[in-house]
Structure 1
Amino acid sequence: MEPLRGDETTVGETTVVARGCRLDDAPVRAVLETDARPRFFWAAGTESIAARGSAATVTADGQSRFDDVRTALEALFDDCSVPDSLPSVARPRAFGGFAFHNGTYEKEHSPWDGFPSAAFFLPEIQITKRDDDAWLTTVATGSEAATEAETLLEEWRDRLVADPETEPGTPPGISRQERTPTQDGWREQVAAATESIDRGDLQKVVLAQSLSATLNAELSVPDVMARLSETYPDCYRFMLSPDAGEGTFFGATPERLVSVRGRTVRTEALAGSTGRGDTPAEDEWLAAELLDSEKDRHEQKLVADAIRDQLEPFASTVRIGDRTIRRLATVQHLRTSITAELDDDEHVLSLVEALHPTPAVGGLPPDAALRTIRETEAFDRGWYAAPVGWVDAAGNGTFAVGLRSAVATEREATLFAGAGIVADSDPDREWDEVQLKYRPILDELE
């Protein structure tokens, strides 16, 4: 099936058929290690998903990219025949995401070749595991779709039984690293941002850095995902290899942008950071210091208030939880859970559009912050800090913010991390915070 752009209306002219069966196990590596593109991996809580091959693809760009993707996916799912016996966990989903910035934003030597402004695909092969329940789902299109979906189901069921899960290999090692900007350049950027804040042009801006790494051996991203799942089981682990290009975007992010199930919306405000202690007592001391930090509490409150304001036009109620500590392997954050009940049914992509970018990855006011990011950063953010996740036929879905992430080819990887700059930000402290945020991916490469 030819790729479908968001403004095309040809989806309904084809037949889309899904088939599925229960599996004894879900060896996701057997799906991810194939050469086929696109590929997608997602793991959150007790659910993990691996998908490959495109039965249908939707891409979009421009100001209406969220609407265009939503419209095309709704048409695609409306045309999809799914057996009533297939449970919700195994039903087809569309996987993908968006670039951080709308429109063309390519800097010199960008690693984002093949990543459109928005891209989703309905996979030919989807393995879903939730708790101890595992399913294989296949999708085919065209006049012989039913037969092809059944054939794919039989072939992959046999293949997965014969190809059990393997242990991940070791990291490839790094021969060269290059940071953009340098530490001196970073000090200049932070100083310029705080001057804008002092003038009243900004309240907050999130500035990012990139780290380019040359690898000693060929990188297996499925191996990285397996290791990240051991180290960061409470994070959203994701991996996407688009149709075109050679790159794969992957990461283990602590931040959910939004989940929609029915009329219930769940999200969170995550901002303010500190390291982990060498002992439990030091860990608690650092956490208490973070909770007492006026700078970090101010930064986190800006995020929580903005998310509440963005949700209120859709919601009958918005509930903001207590401020807590979110502990990860190398860093601790301030976190506030946010739950909303919608007035009416809303597609998850409508909420994604309303919330992206949150002040945790962009800033306030949004337009001034985005302009500052474009003018300041010397690299293309691509899909870094942008929405990545899944959508189902009911318009439910979950999207994470693409943090603690990298885009990589076989022998090159570019890592990204950022820090929120407010009035009293110290450039050297913010530099150290960014280096901590590189660690989840850097540890899996070195």
Structure 2
Amino acid sequence: MIEEVRSQVAELTERLRQLRLSGAPGQPLVRIEQPFPMINLFNWLTAQTLSGKSYWQDRDSDYKVAGLGKAWRFKIRDQSEVSTCFEQVDSLLGKTTRCLGYLSFSDSHHMIWPDFGYGEFFFPVLEVTQTRKGGSLACHLLGQDELSWTCSIEKVLNNLEQVSWALEETDTQCLLSTPEFKPDQSLWTSLIRQALQGFESGVLKKVVLSREARLHLLEGQLDPWMILYLWQVANPRSYVFGFESDEGSLFFGCSPERLFRRVDRVIHTEALAGTTRRGSDRDEDFKLELRLLNDSKNVHENRLVLEDIRTRLESICSYLEFDRSHSVVKLQTIQHLRQLIRGVLKEGVDDSQLFSLLHPTPAVGGEPREMARHFIEKHETYNRGLYAGACGVLGKKRSEFTVSIRSALLEEKSLSLFSGAGIVNGSDVQDEWQELNNKIKTVQSLLDQKTCVTETSISREPEVQHTPDHENGYRVG
């Protein structure tokens, strides 16, 4: 395996050296691609010292990409720049090329994380892509003029020299504090009461309130790519993502919720809202599922999301249908109500229009949308940033985005876990607080594991050993 990897890297290097001798092609973006063996992308990202790491994996695992650096990027300051960004991306895309990117929940200044801004779309300098047809190693070059062409080739060659392809055995250790909640339970209770008053007055129908659980790094280092790997093993059939800022912060997660998938003009989206926990055995799990399917509060919450999305898509679709009844999505610690929505877009409708209509959905904001978002921006006691935003890939033929829930932010000395709960008329304060706990329980259980030892062959999967919790916090290795 290692020899095959090195052989393909050497071949790409030689191709780039030959291109350096030729003139600029006069194209704004050029993608050079090389067949590549299937490797563990999480292990690969852990081993790299280059900045600008990124990862994306769709819910069906049909497309996985791990990137390093940014050959071309568009930083989006607010919602008004989304369509301009998408137009520029579209001008750069080839038939099979895809562009990575993300958007925050809100472009309100106090809700944005400075390290990430409102949003960004980019083509990595280097990327390893895996599909069901096989793997590839690719680079992106700027070819509009001679200077850009030469500089971008030199940059890729320099990066290739620094990339680690033979992973050495590592066993990082860290100690994390127990979580600090913002808002705390007292303030959470107050926020829900204010929301319930909004329902009584008719101003609101639903609002999604969220919480940050911050754990401080007391000693050692945390390997987020190991955590992300274990997270997606625990919750398969989820979107998996990770984006590193220029300052080194990492936003990552494992989300069950699709914002939209577009293949040509066919669009798929969903209403994912309404939650209960998993049972301790099969019988209890089935009883909880039936209770969820017939619970008036959860069904009402899901119906609000469905009706909002359906109404918005009717204006841009020539055909639209949705499931006649709810289904249940089962994750490791919770289960959700879901209704699938399918449609055919009218001629001329593009991805930026889909974003303007669908993001953020009532599943993470509320209903009516503007009133719910205003309530969140005014009353939540922390900055959501990319949490409850969207991330994914733009392409000519196919684009796909997830809602960035079940996510975390790793900074230099802290790890923040995010969760939210849909509040409607009849919501119970204690039940909703417990729902927040249930939604971060999966990643907390991964942090509880004292030792996470990676077998570091480039083609092998990590193995996990379980040991008791540390008495003062979470010790992760």
TM-score range (shorter-chain normalised) is: 0.7 to 0.9
2:45·2:225 contact (CA, 8 Å) conserved in 1?
Answer: no
1:344 to partner: Cα distance: 1.3
Q: Indicate which of 99, 102, 106 corresponds to 2:107.
A: 102
**Equivalent residue, structure 2, for 1:434:** 436
Cα separation, partners in 2 of 1:319 and 1:154, compared to 1, 3 Å: farther
Give the secondary structure class of the aligned counterpart of 2:372. helix
1:405·1:415 contact (CA, 8 Å) conserved in 2?
Answer: yes
Letter in 2 for 1:37: S
Once residues 306 and 77 of structure 2 are traced to their aligned partners in structure 1, the CA distance between those partners, rounded to angstroms, is 29
Give the secondary structure class of the aligned counterpart of 1:425. coil
1:132 to partner: Cα distance: 5.4
How does 1:173-212 map onto structure 2 within 5 Å? 173-212=175-214
Once residues 363 and 278 of structure 1 are traced to their aligned partners in structure 2, the CA distance between those partners, rounded to angstroms, is 31
2:173·2:221 contact (CA, 8 Å) conserved in 1?
Answer: no
**Equivalent residue, structure 1, for 2:78:** 62
Letter in 2 for 1:294: S
Cα separation, partners in 2 of 1:128 and 1:101, compared to 1, 3 Å: same
1:173 to partner: Cα distance: 4.1
Once residues 403 and 147 of structure 1 are traced to their aligned partners in structure 2, the CA distance between those partners, rounded to angstroms, is 38
* 1:93 matches 2:90: no
Q: Indicate which of 218, 221, 224 corresponds to 2:221.
A: 218
Let me know the Cα RMSD of the aligned residues.
2.6
1:131 to partner: Cα distance: 2.5
How many residues are treated as equivalent by the alignment? Answer: 416
Cα shift readout 1:277-301 (whole Å, capped 9, x = no counterpart): 1110000000000001000000001
* 1:49 matches 2:51: no
Structure 2, unpaired ranges of 5+:
1-24, 449-477
Once residues 185 and 173 of structure 2 are traced to their aligned partners in structure 1, the CA distance between those partners, rounded to angstroms, is 27
Cα shift readout 1:376-413 (whole Å, capped 9, x = no counterpart): 10100001000111112x16311100101111124311
**Equivalent residue, structure 1, for 2:467:** none
Q: Which moved more, 1:409-418 or 1:136-145?
A: 136-145
Once residues 385 and 167 of structure 1 are traced to their aligned partners in structure 2, the CA distance between those partners, rounded to angstroms, is 35
**Equivalent residue, structure 2, for 1:358:** 361
**Equivalent residue, structure 2, for 1:6:** none
Cα separation, partners in 2 of 1:35 and 1:347, compared to 1, 3 Å: farther
1:441 to partner: Cα distance: 2.6
After TM superposition, the score normalised by the length of structure 2 is 0.81
Give the secondary structure class of the aligned counterpart of 2:360. coil
Once residues 421 and 410 of structure 2 are traced to their aligned partners in structure 1, the CA distance between those partners, rounded to angstroms, is 22
Cα shift readout 1:170-210 (whole Å, capped 9, x = no counterpart): 78442232101111211111111011101101000001111
**Equivalent residue, structure 2, for 1:141:** 142
**Equivalent residue, structure 1, for 2:237:** 234
Give the secondary structure class of the aligned counterpart of 1:445. helix
How does 1:378-393 map onto structure 2 within 5 Å? 378-392=381-395
Cα separation, partners in 2 of 1:153 and 1:309, compared to 1, 3 Å: farther
How does 1:259-338 map onto structure 2 within 5 Å? 259-321=261-323, 322-338=325-341
Q: Indicate which of 25, 30, 45 corresponds to 2:38.
A: 25
Q: Which has the larger radius of gyration?
A: 2
Letter in 2 for 1:185: L
2:208·2:363 contact (CA, 8 Å) conserved in 1?
Answer: yes
Structure 1, unpaired ranges of 5+:
1-11, 83-87
After TM superposition, the score normalised by the length of structure 1 is 0.87
Cα separation, partners in 2 of 1:126 and 1:280, compared to 1, 3 Å: same
Cα separation, partners in 2 of 1:366 and 1:151, compared to 1, 3 Å: closer
Give the secondary structure class of the aligned counterpart of 2:287. helix
Give the secondary structure class of the aligned counterpart of 1:371. helix
Cα separation, partners in 2 of 1:159 and 1:411, compared to 1, 3 Å: closer
Once residues 402 and 78 of structure 2 are traced to their aligned partners in structure 1, the CA distance between those partners, rounded to angstroms, is 22
